[in-house]
């Protein structure tokens, strides 16, 4: 997963990673919100979900201590990290501001 993960985040296009767990109720709440974010931003962003129970090394590397946690990457660099559920506009504003899209 690590080399694949690195190739995913090492792009000029912003990549929002949603670290989640199948047992996490707030993660289930965030999922449709992220779909709305993707629908709004379209090809300007890639959104990927990573199950922390299946990928503990990636979660550990980025110090994901709770789920859901979103991390925005661009060119391999983390630009923004947020735990918990935010509304669509808060997420979009953070992405636009941090990634300058």
- Has 55 been annotated as catalytic? no
Q: How far apart (Å, rounded) are the C-alpha atoms in residues 37 and 82?
A: 15
Which domain does 72 fall in, by range? 2-99
State pLDDT tens for residues 29-86.
999 999 999 999 999 999 999 999 999 999 999 999 999 999 999 999 999 999 999 9
pLDDT band at 100 (very low <50, low <70, confident <90, very high): confident
pTM (predicted TM-score): 0.96
Q: In the annotation, is 72 catalytic?
A: no
Point out the catalytic residue in the list 27, 30, 41, 86.
Answer: 27
**1 pLDDT band (50/70/90 cuts)?**
low
Choosing from 8, 21, 24, 92, the catalytic residue is 24
Identify the CA nearest to 101 among candidates 79, 84, 71: 79
Please determine, for residue 92, whether its predicted confidence score (pLDDT) is greater than 90: yes
What's the rounded mean pLDDT across residues 76-99?
Answer: 97
* CB 46 within 8 Å of CB 14: yes
Domain CATH for 70: 3.40.30.10
């Amino acid at each position: 997963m690590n080399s694949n993960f690195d190739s995913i985040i090492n792009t000029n296009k912003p990549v929002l990673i949603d670290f989640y767990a199948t047992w996490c109720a707030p993660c289930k709440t965030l999922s449709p919100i992220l779909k709305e974010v993707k629908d709004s931003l379209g090809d300007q962003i890639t959104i990927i979900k990573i199950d922390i129970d299946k990928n503990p090394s990636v979660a550990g590397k980025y110090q994901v201590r709770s789920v859901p946690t979103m991390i925005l990457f661009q060119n391999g660099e983390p630009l923004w990290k947020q735990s918990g559920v935010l509304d669509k506009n808060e997420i979009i504003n953070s992405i636009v501001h941090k990634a300058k899209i």
